[in-house]
Amino acid sequence: MEPRISRILDDCLARINSGESVAACLADNAELRDQLDPLLNTAIRASALPKVSPSIEFRQTSRLRLLTRLKQEQQACNSAATATASAGETISGWRALWHGLSPAKRVAIVVAIVVLSVLTTVSLLPRSFNPLYPAPALASPCVLSILDGSAEFRSVTSDSWQPCRDGMVLQPSTLVRTGQHSNVILTFFDGSTIKLEPDTNIEIQKIKQNDDESADIVLRQAVGTTWTSVACGGETASHYRLETPAAVAEVQGTLFTTAVTKEGLTRFEAVEGVITVTAEGEAVRLTKNQLTEVDPGRPPSESRILPQAETELIVTSELPLVIAVLDPTGASTGFLPSGLSFNQIKDSEAARDPHGRQVISIQEPIAGEYKIILRPVTTGSAMVGLITKSEGTIISNIRRQISLKDRNGLLVHLDLVTESGSIVGSVITGLEPISDRLLEKVVATELAQERAVPFRLEASDTTNPDAATEADRSSDEATESSASGATDINSEAAEQAEAPSDTEVDEPASDEDATPDDRMENNQGRPNGRTDSTVGSPK
């Protein structure tokens, strides 16, 4: 009911804004007149508030103060750069001294410098680079992870293929191909990933880190299907270019699928972000949920909307639990408590809101065993949801309050059964603790870790109308991702019964003591339908 009235109210406001009268709007919605009339009048009154401004004194002095401060900071930065330049002059003085030394003395000095440098560098290196503390290759241009099956690689200048090893580092000018029933992930230094499905062949043409830490990545996909997640954190989004026999796609901060047949017919599907597909001098721009197809030698087809997924698996959680999902191929999508996010499952999306609520959605999930991993930020309990949908119908909707009494995570085994493309059932087949094991094949690059926003439990966290617990999804208008990287998933359910009820606040006895803050603290809306059965961590 609330969503319907809110829409009607919004429509009336738009009509009034364009010149219609309140009476006309109320006449068209006679059955809601009693509800709409006071709201419309309040809105009109709020719109009529005068435009207050800062004081004249503040306006005059603040600009000057601000710009002076900014210029001083800028000069401080420039001074540091000047100091570097003057060091160059000192170097030429030392050159003159060096040429005056005997050869034997020069050799002795060089050896001493080299030994000192090695010892100093090794001790100062962060552990991730330090050979004394072996660690995953976080700073490597590209790391290959084998999810299942096998893959081979070769240099572009060589003819012989060699087997890939899990965790190996790949350089530009390398070709990779996956075998039948094989899936592989390539992780780039900026956190971007590309999943290669079975019988896929790609070439890594270029991997470059720019000064602003953004990446320039160029790949060529000859055949097969890939799922790409391009990182968009930090100051500048990475530039990612994927070439196929038929077209070239340029992307920034995107999730998309690329399928290339043996004949070179290419299909691009954008799940998130923007892709520009160019072929034969013409370009097509894809935004969320759009696709284009390209025949070799022809321009890209006009963009069209992706058909709605027939089936969907949705997993939701809230703090203090952080979720990730592992699919039957070994690919994973979700989050770690450090805030690191990853998206390796084709047609999946993972979103978190500022309150730490997370939603992972997988369109057209394949049948098989899924592993749902729950990791605690701190001990406590949280509502976890598991929903499967098929042709618009909810097949299962499991909601449980999960309580973790220690820092061990919980692994939920979920068996998903499909028949003729429809989900017919989902069964939880097991629960086990996972301690601090990392089951996901996630390569935590330094850049991605730096950009990650850790999950933190705020004392003042309260529920809000955008609760990520869903019972249904509507096709509402899309919103773009914010600068922090969090994506708001549009959901009619967020507007409905699962949203916290707008409970009345008890007014304090005295208006003198009443503050907006007191009211905020008193407003503890609770979503309906929560079951508070506690499931402790199995021993």
Partner 1 sequence: MIQQVEKAKAGFSAQAVELVRDAASGDVEAFGQLYDLYLDKIFRYVYYHVPDKMAAEDISQEVFVKAWKAIKSCRGREDTFLAWLYRIAHNLMVDHHRRQRKCRSLEVQCRSKMTNSMEATELDLKELELVQALRYLPEEHQNVIILKFIEGFSNQEIGRMLNKSQGAIRITQMRALSRLRKHLTKTREGEDGT
Residues in region 50-79 near partner 1 by CB under 8 A? 50-55, 58-59, 62-63, 65-67, 69-71, 74
Specify whether the CB–CB gap between 5 and 38 falls below 8 A: no
**Which residues, listed in sequence order, are joined to residue 312 by a DSSP beta bridge?**
363, 389
Residue 499 is a binding residue for partner 1 (CB under 8 A): yes
Find the shortest distance in angstroms from Cβ 378 to partner 1.
Answer: 20
| DSSP letter, residue 494 | G
- Alpha carbons 40 and 38: distance in angstroms, whole number: 6
Q: Does 465 bind partner 1 (CB under 8 A)?
A: yes
- The residue behind tokens 């730096």 is 450
Residues in 206-235 at the binding interface with partner 1, rule: CB under 8 A = 212, 234-235
Which residue number, 47 or 533, has a Cβ lying nearer to partner 1?
A: 47
453 binds partner 1 (CB under 8 A): no
C-alpha 23, offset from chain centre: 46
Number of residues that bind partner 1 (CB under 8 A): 77
24, 27, 44, 118: residue in contact with partner 1 (rule CB under 8 A): 44
Which listed residue (43, 222, 366, 535) binds partner 1 by CB under 8 A?
43
Confirm or reject binding of residue 286 to partner 1 (CB under 8 A). no
Q: Can residue 38 be called a binding residue for partner 1 (CB under 8 A)?
A: yes
Is the Cβ of residue 151 or residue 270 nearer to partner 1 in the bound state?
270
Q: Are strands 534-535 and 393-404 parallel, antiparallel or unpaired?
A: parallel
* The one segment of 79-87, 137-145, 513-521, 529-537 that binds partner 1 by CB under 8 A: 513-521
Q: Which stretch binds partner 1 (CB under 8 A): 266-274, 293-301, 374-382, 481-489?
A: 481-489
Which one of 201-209, 240-248, 363-371, 512-520 is the stretch in contact with partner 1 (CB under 8 A)? 512-520
H-helix or E-strand spanning residue 271: strand 266-279
> Considering the complex, what minimum distance in angstroms separates the CB of residue 164 from partner 1?
35
Give whichever of 205 and 481 is closer to partner 1, judged by the CB atom.
481
CA–CA separation, 252 and 287 (whole Å): 11
Specify the residue, 31 or 532, whose C-beta has the smaller distance to partner 1. 31
Contact 426, 315 (CB under 8 A): no
What's the closest the beta carbon of residue 399 comes to partner 1, in angstroms?
Answer: 20
Binding part of the chain for partner 1, among 11-19, 113-121, 297-305, 446-454 by CB under 8 A, reads 11-19
User: Which residues is 414 bridged to in the sheet?
Assistant: 370, 428
Does position 33 interact with partner 1 (CB under 8 A)? The reply is no
Segment 287 to 346, residues that bind partner 1, using CB under 8 A: none
Q: How many residues does the structure list for the chain?
A: 539
User: Does 101 engage in binding with partner 1 (CB under 8 A)?
Assistant: no
* Locus of tokens 């330090």: 130
Q: Which is nearer to partner 1, 70 or 438 (CB)?
A: 70
Edge-to-edge order in the sheet of strand 332-335: 341-343, 332-335, 321-326, 368-376, 409-419, 422-435
Query: Cβ of 431: how many Cβ atoms within 10 Å?
Result: 15
**Of 234 and 376, which has the nearer Cβ to partner 1?**
234
Vertex 260 angle, CA 304 and 270, to 5°: 35
d(CA 391, CA 384): 23
356 Rama sector, left if φ>0, alpha if ψ -120 to 50, beta otherwise: left
